[in-house]
Structure 1
Amino acid sequence: MTQVNPVPPPTVTLDPAPVLRENPDRDRYELWSGDELVGVEGYERTDSGDLILLHTVVTEKFGRAGFARLLVSQVLEDAADRGFTVTPVCTYVQQFLERFPQYRSVVAD
């Protein structure tokens, strides 16, 4: 059984709550609070539709408050829900997967 480490919520509460949106035209997921961009997870799609996660970026205003964690956890959950696997090239995602092993099942072999 995989160890489950709860993902801590961001240390700042936003109103409205952040929402994950996929923007396939720009090859990225975006985390939005209302009309304000919080962060992005850039990706490439493989021929089979799976994701290569390239970089995680949180805007300066929202940095160091746990929004990268929220972004990555939601991207991984979305991939799992949609039956995709991910290849984590981004070092932040690699470190996230070490800290939260419950998400490793979505990583491509």
Structure 2
Amino acid sequence: MTQAAAPVVRNVDARHRYEILVDDASAGFTAYRDREAQRVFFHTEIDDAFAGRGLASVLVREALSHVRDTGKRIVPVCPYVAKFLKKNEEFSDITDPVTPEILQWLETALAR
């Protein structure tokens, strides 16, 4: 039996998202938009074919670690990212609250 390769997370800046790959197949993504020094996460999705493997957690942890490395802050509009942050307090120092102003900004940014 062949061991599956470890999942790989990559930032695809041109598409405003981090993608997770399993054996070179796209397994899911977490989408964002940048607002000055904030990275606003608004949607996370794992393909049904890869469900139940903990990939969303791996994806979001790697994405948030990358945000920390770039010096940006996190805004968790996405319910999954918000839930992840409640369970993983090591990112609380770089997390900003979701405000009505940010939600309005995001709506405008996504409409472009």
One-letter amino acid of the structure 2 residue matched with residue 106 of structure 1: I
The answer to which structure has the higher helix fraction is 2
Q: Distance in 2 between matches of 1:45 and 1:63?
A: 28
Alignment length (residue pairs): 95
Q: Which whole-Å deviations, capped at 9, do the CAs of 1:43-100 have from their partners, x for residues lacking one?
A: 0111x24210011101111112211011111111110011110100001111111111
SS in 1 for 2:45: strand
Q: Distance in 2 between matches of 1:42 and 1:74?
A: 13
Residue 79 (structure 1) aligned to one of 67, 83, 90? 67
Greater Cα shift, 26-35 or 83-92: 26-35
Residue 17 (structure 2) aligned to one of 22, 28, 44? 28
Larger radius of gyration between Structure 1 and Structure 2: 2
TM-score if structure 2 supplies the norm length?
A: 0.78
Matched, 1:54 2:45: no
TM-score if structure 1 supplies the norm length?
A: 0.79
Residue 66 (structure 1) aligned to one of 54, 62, 75? 54
What is residue 5 of structure 1 aligned with on the other side?
Answer: none
Q: Distance in 2 between matches of 1:66 and 1:35?
A: 17
Q: Distance in 2 between matches of 1:31 and 1:20?
A: 4
Contact 1:76 1:106 in 2 (8 A): no
Considering only aligned residues, what root-mean-square deviation do their CA atoms show, in Å? 1.5
Greater relative contact order structure (CA < 8 Å, 6+ sep):
1
Percentage of pairs with the same residue: 29
What is residue 8 of structure 2 aligned with on the other side?
Answer: 19
1:108: how far off?
Answer: 2.4
Runs of 4+ in 1 over 2 A off after TM superposition: none
Unaligned runs of 5+ in 1: 1-13
